Amino acid sequence: MKNLSIILAAVAVFALAGCGKDKENQAAMAQKLNGKIDGEPWTHTFGVVRPKLGSSSYSITLHNLPDRVDPCTATYVPGQPIYMVSFSVKELTAGAYDVSAGSGSSIYLTRAITTNGNFSATSKGAFGEARLTKVDATTVEGQLDVSANDSNFVKGMFTAKICK
């Protein structure tokens, strides 16, 4: 009987520990999307959704550039590094999107720079959870929890403007 009590107490401790981690994860997912890209701290400021040319899918790109009056007309400053999160979806509908390893789909965490008309970029494919939580005529809202390694990961909520 004493052994059974010890086992039940141990099970309760492990169950409570798991609940704490779930609550921590829920709290992190409720925060503004942030993390690291190419080892640099990154926080989402604005995003854009555009139809992909020659395709029926959409590209979602999330930036940490200063807020713009209209994200659809944002421009990049030559020589300034651009850190972004990008991924594609076939339809703009709320739901979960599979970006697990082996799914053939990933989210890219990219450091890019433009200089003298040239564009160079370093991207890491990241895997984890991706969800679009709300889609209306002008805006997409969602959550990401994706990681490539300790220097490339993002977690939290984002908003992106639909650009035509």
- Rounded to 10 degrees, what is the CA torsion of 135, 138, 143, 147? 120
Per-residue tens of pLDDT for the chain, all 164 residues: 444 343 333 333 334 444 454 555 556 567 999 999 999 999 999 999 999 887 778 999 999 987 666 888 877 778 888 899 999 988 899 999 888 877 878 899 999 988 877 778 889 999 999 999 999 999 999 999 999 999 999 999 999 999 98
Helix (H, G, I), strand (E, B) or coil at 5: helix
| 82-89/118-135 β-pairing | unpaired
Residue 1 DSSP label: -
Question: Domain boundaries in the chain?
Answer: 1-30, 32-162
Tokens of 103: 């799914």
Looking from the CA of 38 toward its CB, the CA atoms found within 13 Å total 14
Question: What's the pLDDT score for residue 120?
Answer: 87
Question: What's the pLDDT score for residue 16?
Answer: 43
Measured CA to CA, the distance from residue 114 to residue 95 in angstroms comes to 34
Question: What's the pLDDT score for residue 130?
Answer: 93
Exposure class string for 42-51: b at 16+ Cβ within 10 A, else e? bebbbbbbee
Tokens of 25: 């994860």
